[in-house]
A = this chain, B = another copy of it.
Amino acid sequence: MGASRRDHLVETALKLFCRDGYQATGIDKILAEAGCAKMTLYNHFKSKDELILAALHRRDEQFRNAFMRAIERQAGTPRERLSAIFDVLQAWFEAPDFSGCMFINASAEFGDPDDPIHAAAAEHKRLILGYFRQLAAAAAAADPDQLAEGLMLLMEGAIVMRHVAGQADAARRARASAQVLIDQALS
């Protein structure tokens, strides 16, 4: 039961951090929502920051898994998968409780690049970029790195325009620009 209690805490914290932010979510709110005692939390985590790190780590695994799986389910050829990125992104944007990227938000609240929380966010973005590089290489792009980076910028930009400016169809618009980059790189 020990591991599942810890898991339950991480899941609950993840949901609240995502919805309300990190500093705005108090320990007590997490405990009340999870139905846990305070000492249960502090037996599993040294501090709130460690709980945040655990939540980000879980989110990274969940997101990358679901993201890659959805892209590969959506399209078969490497070339189609490059534009499928933005179809999957659009589906995410249409969630009614969309509240931005947890890693961008974490970097905003923990601005120091040396903060382990900021570093975890950086690592997440690096892993996504690495996946795009794999896709671009598999599609035999002229310059896989440049294409991957271009698509990455469009994706992050779309997340920002969806969250900050409320552009509900940001990913659909991004797809049009992505197609230009893809066509140019695979001509």
Contact = CB atoms under 8 A, between A and B. Distances in A.
Given A104-B104, A154-B154, A122 B164 contact: yes
A158 interface: yes
A24 interface: yes
A153 interface: yes
A78 interface: no
Contacts of A166: 113, 122
A104 B103 CA distance: 12
B111 A19 contact: yes
What is the count of identical protomers in the complex? 2
A94 interface: no
Contacts of A100: 107-108, 111
A156 B160 contact: yes
A109 B109 contact: yes
B109 A164 contact: no
Nearest to A183: B184
A101 to B, nearest CB: 8
Given A108-B100, A155-B157, A160-B160, A177 B165 contact: no
19 contacts: A19-B111, A20-B111, A21-B109, A104-B160, A105-B109, A109-B109, A121-B165, A122-B165, A146-B173, A149-B177, A150-B174, A153-B158, A153-B161, A156-B157, A156-B161, A157-B160, A159-B160, A180-B181, A181-B181
Interface of A: 19-21, 23-24, 99-100, 103-105, 107-109, 111, 113, 118, 121-122, 125-126, 129, 146, 149-150, 152-161, 163-166, 170, 173-174, 176-177, 180-181, 184
